A and B are shown apart, each in its own frame.
Chain A
Amino acid sequence: MGETLRLLARDKVALAAALFLLLVLACAVFGPVVLGEAADKMNLRQRNAPPFSLADGWLYVLGADALGRSILARIVVAARDTVTIATLAVALSLVAGGTIGLVAGYARGWTETVIMRFADILMSFPSLLLAVVVLYVFNPGVATVVAVLAITRLPIYIRTIRAEVLEIRERLFVQAARVLGAGPVRLIGRHIAPVTVPTLITIATLDFAFVMLAESALSFLGIGIQPPDVTWGLMVAQGRNYLATAWWLAFFPGLAIMLTTLSLNLLSSWMRLAADPTQRWRLDRAPDTGAR
C-alpha cells in the first residue's frame, strides 16, 4: 500500500486524477447534505445568471439555471446519483456476468452454448431499445437505469471470464484439486474464481467510465433519470434548450462528466501499469525526453 502510494505520488497526472476522483466521491457522499437546500433554492432574479461573477456569492460562480438555481450546487448534488448509478451498474454486471462466465467456462457443453448465444443476442440488441422498453414498463428511476446499464454490459464480463476459465481449468493446481475430490462449487469458488479477479477488476475500472457516459447519454435523450432526480447527463439535456443564450447551463455539467471519466481512465491505465510486474519499472523511471 505504502509502495503504491509512493509510485502514485511520482506520477503527477495519475495523482491529480486520484485527487479529483476523491473530490467527486466527497461530493457524492456529503454534497446533498451540505448543498441540497442551495441546489433547490429558486431565485427568479438570478435566472440564467452568467458564470465567473462573485457578485451574488460563491455559489453562483458557475452561473445559475433557468430557475435561478446555483449550477455549482446542482453539480455537487447531482454527483450522488451519477456516481451511485455507475457504481451499482458496474457492481451488478460484474457479479452477474462474472458468475455466468464462470459457469459457462466450467460447464462446457450445451450450457456453455446456450449462455454464449444469449450473450451474442444481448450484444447485438440496441441498448437504447432496451432502455425505452424498461422505462415504459417500469417506473423510471435510479433502479431501472441501473438495471438497463447492467444488462447491456453483461456480455463483456461473460465473454472475458469464460475465455479465461477455459484456460485456468486446465492448469495443474485445478486438476490437482479435482483429483483430491473437490466438487464443482469448491473448484469454481476456491480455485478458479480468485484467479479471474484481476481481470474482472481491470474490466470494471474501464467499464465504470463507459457506464457513466452511457447513463449521461440515456438521461440526455430523456430516457434515463427523470426530474426531480438529477444527474450530470440530465443537466446537460436541460441546458441544451438554452444553448444559444446561456451556454453555461449545459457546459459545466458536461465538463464534470468529461473530467470524471478522464480521471477514471487515467487512473485505471496507471493501475494496470502498476499491477503489471513487467511494466512497473516504467513508473519508477524519470520521463524519457532525450534522444535514444
Chain B
Amino acid sequence: MGAYLGRRTLQSLIALAGLVVLVFFLARLTGDPTNLYLPLDASLEARAEFRAKHGYDDPFLVQFGGFLVDLTRLDFGESIRKARPALDVVLEAIPTTLRLAAITMSLAIAGSILIGSLAAVRPRGIFDRTASILSLAAASAPDFWVAITGILLFAVALGWLPTSGTGTALHWVLPIAVLLIRPFGLLVQVVRGAMITALSSAYVKTARAKGVRERSVVFVHALRNAMLPVITVAGDQAAGIVNGAVIVETIFGFPGVGKLMIDAIEQRDFAVIQAAVLVTALLIFVMNILIDLAYAMIDPRVRHG
C-alpha cells in the first residue's frame, strides 16, 4: 500500500510538472495584457512602464524561470485584475465550487443507486424502460440550455426562484438541479448495468435460496459488488465539476473556480489562470487517489501492490 501511494504520488507530480509548463506558455500565447489594462490613448512610455512593472518585456524563458522560483515558495504571483495574491483569489473561489460538487454528487449518487437498482431488478420491464429512456435523456441534455430554460420557467415565468447570485439557499436550487442532470443520468445507466450483472451472479442466487429478503439481496449483497464502476464514473463527474462548472457558474453568476478561470482568461490575468489550474489539478489528483483507496475498502479482492 505504501509503495502504491508513493508511485501514484510520483506519477501525479510528473503530470503536475507538465501541467505547470503547459499552462504557463499556453496562457501567454493568448496575447499581451497591456492593451487591455491601459486606456486606448495611453502613451508608449506608459505602456512600456506597465510591461516592465509586470515583467512582460522579459523573454518568455526568463519569465518562466521567475515563475518557477516563486512557485517553490508557493507564491503564484499577483492578480493584475484584483491587485492581490493570485492564490488568495483562487482559494476564495474553491469552497463555492467544492460545495456545488459535493451537494450535486451526493444527490446524484443516492438517487441513481435507488433508481438504477430498482430498474435492474426487472430488466426491460416497464419501470426499467421508463428509467432508461429518462436517464438517457438526462445524460443527453445540454446543460446551458437546461439552465436558461430553467431560468425562463422557474425564475421569469413562475417567479419561484432567483435568476442568479448566491444570497440564500434558494439561490442554490437551480444551479444544483442543472449540474445534477447529467451525472445523474449517466450514473443511473452505470448502476443499472452493474446491478444487472451482479443480480444474475451465483452468490445472489445463493442468498435468495437461503431466503434472504429481496430488499437486502438487492441493496446489500448485489449493490456492494456493483459499486466499483459507479465510483469510477462518479469520480470522473466530480472531477468535471471541480475543474470548473463553467457553464453553470457563469449563467448563475456563482463565484466559483470555473467563473474565475474564464474571467481570468478573458482578462489575461496569467497569475490567476496558473494558480486556478494548478490548485484544481491538485484537488483532482488527491481525489483520484482517495477513489483508488475506496476500491480496496469496498472490494477486498482489489489490492494495490
Question: Could you tell me which A residues sit within 8 Å of B by CB distance?
Answer: 13, 117-118, 120-121, 124-126, 128-130, 132-133, 136-137, 209, 213, 216-217, 220-221, 233, 236, 240, 243-244, 247, 250-251, 254-255, 257-258, 261-262, 264-266, 269, 282, 285, 287-289, 292
Q: What is the bound-complex CA distance between A247 and B157, given in angstroms?
A: 11
A217 touches B277 (CB 8 A): no
**CB neighbours of A255 from chain B (8 A):** 145
**CB neighbours of A269 from chain B (8 A):** 132, 136, 189
A129 touches B273 (CB 8 A): yes
Q: What is the bound-complex CA distance between A221 and B29, given in angstroms?
A: 20
**CB neighbours of A251 from chain B (8 A):** 145, 149
A133 touches B142 (CB 8 A): no
Q: What is the bound-complex CA distance between A258 and B125, given in angstroms?
A: 25
Asked, given contacts A13-B133, A258-B137, A266-B133, whether A250 binds B148 with beta carbons under 8 Å apart, the answer is yes
Q: What is the bound-complex CA distance between A217 and B262, given in angstroms?
A: 13
Q: What is the bound-complex CA distance between A249 and B262, given in angstroms?
A: 25
- Closest Cβ of chain B: how far from A226's Cβ, in Å? 16
Additional A-B contacts beyond A129-B265, A240-B148, A269-B136 (5; CB < 8 A): A118-B18, A121-B18, A121-B19, A133-B30, A217-B247
Size of interface on B: residues with Cβ below 8 Å to A = 50
- Closest Cβ of chain B: how far from A64's Cβ, in Å? 19
Q: What is the bound-complex CA distance between A126 and B23, given in angstroms?
A: 10
B26 contacts A by Cβ under 8 Å = yes
A-facing residues in B261-305 (Cβ within 8 Å): 261-262, 265, 273, 277, 280-281, 284-285
A interface footprint on B1-41 (CB within 8 Å = 1, 0 otherwise):
00000000001101100110011001101110000000000
A interface footprint on B123-162 (CB within 8 Å = 1, 0 otherwise):
1111001001100110111111100110110001000000
A236 touches B148 (CB 8 A): yes
B31 touches A136 (CB 8 A): yes
A217 touches B142 (CB 8 A): yes
**CB neighbours of A130 from chain B (8 A):** 26
Contact of A243 (CB < 8 Å), options: B12, B124, B139, B156: B156
**CB neighbours of B19 from chain A (8 A):** 121, 124-125
A233 touches B142 (CB 8 A): yes
Contact of A221 (CB < 8 Å), options: B11, B141, B243, B250: B250
A interface footprint on B91-111 (CB within 8 Å = 1, 0 otherwise):
000000000000000000000
* 25 A–B contacts, CB within 8 A, in A order: A13-B133, A124-B285, A125-B23, A128-B261, A128-B262, A129-B27, A132-B30, A133-B26, A136-B30, A137-B30, A213-B140, A220-B144, A221-B246, A243-B148, A244-B152, A251-B149, A257-B145, A258-B141, A258-B142, A264-B140, A288-B122, A288-B123, A288-B125, A289-B125, A289-B126
Asked, given contacts A120-B15, A132-B30, A292-B122, whether A262 binds B140 with beta carbons under 8 Å apart, the answer is yes
B183 contacts A by Cβ under 8 Å = no
- Closest Cβ of chain A: how far from B283's Cβ, in Å? 10
Contact of B151 (CB < 8 Å), options: A118, A213, A243: A243
A216 touches B142 (CB 8 A): yes
Q: What is the bound-complex CA distance between A137 and B144, given in angstroms?
A: 26
**CB neighbours of B122 from chain A (8 A):** 288, 292
Contact of A261 (CB < 8 Å), options: B142, B265, B285: B142
A-facing residues in B236-269 (Cβ within 8 Å): 243-244, 246-247, 250, 261-262, 265
B136 touches A265 (CB 8 A): yes
Contact of A236 (CB < 8 Å), options: B141, B145, B250: B145
B148 touches A129 (CB 8 A): no
- Closest Cβ of chain A: how far from B251's Cβ, in Å? 9
B29 touches A262 (CB 8 A): no
**CB neighbours of A220 from chain B (8 A):** 144, 247
- Closest Cβ of chain B: how far from A117's Cβ, in Å? 5
- Closest Cβ of chain B: how far from A33's Cβ, in Å? 27
**CB neighbours of A129 from chain B (8 A):** 23, 26-27, 261, 265, 273, 277
